Amino acid sequence: MDGGMKDNDLSGIVSADRAHVWHHLTQHKPLETTDPKIIVEGKGMRVWDQTGREHLDAVSGAVWTVNVGYGRERIANAVRDQLLQLNYFAGSMGSIPGARFAERLIDKMPGLSRVYYANSGSEANEKAFKMVRQIAHKRFGGKKHKILYRDRDYHGTTLGALSAGGQQERNAQYGPFAPGFIEVPHCLEYRAADQGWGDLSGEAYGQRAADAIEEVILREGPETVGALCLEPVTAGGGVIPPPPGYWERVQEICRKYEVLLHIDEVVCGVGRTGTWFGYQHYGVKPDMVTMAKGVASGYAAIACLVTTEEVFDMFKSDADDPLDYFRDISTFGGCTAGPAAALENMAIIEEEDLLGNCQAMGARLMENLHGLMEKHRVIGDVRGAGLFCGAELVADRASKEPVSEALVRAVTGDCMAQGVIIGATNRSVPGYNNTLCFAPALIATPDDIDQITDAVDGALSRVFG
């Protein structure tokens, strides 16, 4: 292992884990007969497991989080110093790192001005939904309360966020859900033929997919629709960048019907796609933006909901009404470790030009994946933005029939055996957990990218012949 392991009783750790830890998103039955994997240490792009085995992490902590890589001493030091100065005070008061990070963040988000701190992506989205509901009550007699979300998008694990969830396998068996959340169609051009709009592509498809949102608004009644919540690039639902012209038309529709545009940057935010935020590729002006994973690269738990001054102002009032402000708090939204880590994280991205590296390495990853697509017929489509890419596996290119999940697992398992951790869409859209996912840290080198795609090349050859 790379660094100094402090706890050498790893067999004890494995049995304690097996006896007492309930892992996230995991069927535990197979772990009765095999060892759970314990990730023990991380440095740069690499992690080590309990057997001492090294893995190149092509998914930044499995869920696209560790944007600046593992083992960043300056973040750890900044958090340590901050904890000793002041670890916590409730978010109803200010803090030094909270104010500093808000100022730095707003600098990257022209048109937005207010930062509301939270602990997770789900929670930041819940807060945005609460704001929409309260605005509906304050200004529209409660009527303009509906929140639109998109098929295949995901906004979190809590019941409110699942109510806005477009991935049926995440939602199944957890209903009933909150009322007033309405689905709009996805914008995956590769699967356009299934949407019944004829044979459209490029800008024509982008327009049509956005027009479908307008149709839902008109069907529901524009006076009932308060907000539209979208991922800039759908992440877990299949790595879906928007088709051309989509976002421009979405913006127009939101303005036309006074629908607040809430962009969920939990995955794409803070550099993942090669710009600070995913929406900045498309020139849109959101009213609300939520972010979490890359904000502090997992060095501390922090999420933010960022709004315009206009949204903020709707919650200010001189009236003597005790309910007339945003009555929301999360205890740990007052932890100072989050913004302290986020400040260093942002400084690292700037000083090391990780946005530039993300663009360059993203282009290399995409080029390599296109090369693999020429060689392996099982790859039906590759798509992505920056260092966030997907390769959709199909049994037959003409029919686009997805390969089975067992085969997808065989590919990810083969890569793991080669020491490269890649991802795949996981319990998302029924029948469509068939997209391999790549989201290496923004520090990736050309050799890292080539090692990732070489592993996939080998795995596809072995699994599909």
Ligand X SMILES: Cc1ncc(COP(=O)(O)O)c(C=O)c1O
Pair 279, 265: CB distance under 8 Å: yes
The H or E element that residue 420 is part of is strand 420-421
Distance, in Å, from the CA atom of 105 to the CA atom of 2, rounded to the nearest integer, reads 34
| Nearer Cβ to ligand X (79/304) | 304
Minimum distance of ligand X from residue 161's CB (angstroms): 7
Chain positions 91 to 120 lying near ligand X, rule: CB under 6 A, are: 120
| Other residues' Cβ atoms within 10 Å of the Cβ of residue 447 | 10
CB atoms within 10 A of CB 80: 12
Measured from the CB atom, the residue of 63 and 217 that comes closer to ligand X is 63
* Interface pattern 152-171 for ligand X (x via CB under 6 A): --xxxx--------------
Q: Does 231 bind ligand X (CB under 6 A)?
A: yes
Nearest CB to ligand X, comparing residues 226 and 423: 423
Pick the piece of the chain touching ligand X (CB under 6 A) from 6-14, 149-157, 386-394, 401-409.
149-157
**Shortest distance, position 152 Cβ to ligand X, whole Å:** 11
Residue 384, strand partner residues: 389
Q: Which is nearer to ligand X, 98 or 166 (CB)?
A: 166
**Nearest alpha-carbon partner for 264 in 287, 283, 244:** 287
Q: Which is nearer to ligand X, 42 or 121 (CB)?
A: 121
Size of the site for ligand X (CB under 6 A): 16
* Alpha carbon separation from 454 to 103, 372, 422, 446 (Å, rounded): 42, 9, 12, 12
Site string for ligand X, 55-74 (x = CB under 6 A): --------x-----------
Among 122, 195, 297, 435, binds ligand X (CB under 6 A): 122
Binding mask 124-143 vs ligand X (x if CB under 6 A, - otherwise)?
A: -x------------------
Q: Does 306 bind ligand X (CB under 6 A)?
A: no
Cβ atoms of residues 441 and 432 within 8 Å: no
Write down the least CB distance from residue 143 to ligand X, Å.
27
Q: Is 384 in the site for ligand X (CB under 6 A)?
A: no
Placement of tokens 């991935």 in the chain: 167
Euclidean distance between CA atoms 42 and 196, whole angstroms: 47
Residue 381 CA to residue 250 CA, distance in Å, equals 25
Q: Residue 67 Cβ, how far from ligand X at the closest point, in Å?
A: 14
Position 330 contacts ligand X (CB under 6 A): no
Residue from 160, 180, 206, 236 in contact with ligand X (CB under 6 A):
236
Question: What phi, psi does 302 have (nearest 5°)?
Answer: -155, 140
- In the bound complex, what is the minimum distance in angstroms from residue 398's beta carbon to ligand X? 32
* Interface segment toward ligand X; rule CB under 6 A; list 99-107, 168-176, 229-237, 419-427: 229-237
User: Residue 120 Cβ, how far from ligand X at the closest point, in Å?
Assistant: 4
Q: Which of 148, 267, 394, 456 binds ligand X (CB under 6 A)?
A: 267
Binding ligand X by CB under 6 A: which of 42, 61, 97, 121?
A: 121
- Residue closest to ligand X when measured from CB atoms: 121
Give the bridge partners for 47, in sequence order. 42, 55
Close Cβ partners of 35 (under 8 Å, ≥ 6 residues apart):
14, 18, 50
Cα-based angle 204, 205, 209 (whole degrees, multiple of 5): 120
151 near ligand X (CB under 6 A): no
φ, ψ for residue 375 (rounded to 5)? -85, -35
Q: Phi, psi (5° rounding) for residue 395?
A: -70, -25
- Could you tell me the two tokens for 143? 């009527």
Q: How far apart are the two ends of the chain, measured CA to CA in Å?
A: 34
Is residue 284 close enough to count as binding ligand X by CB under 6 A?
A: no
340 contacts ligand X (rule: CB under 6 A):
no
Q: In a 3-state reduction of DSSP, which class is residue 162?
A: helix
Tell me the closest approach of the beta carbon of residue 118 to ligand X, in angstroms: 9
Q: Where on the chain is the footprint of ligand X (CB under 6 A)?
A: 63, 120-122, 125, 154-157, 231, 235-236, 264, 266-267, 292
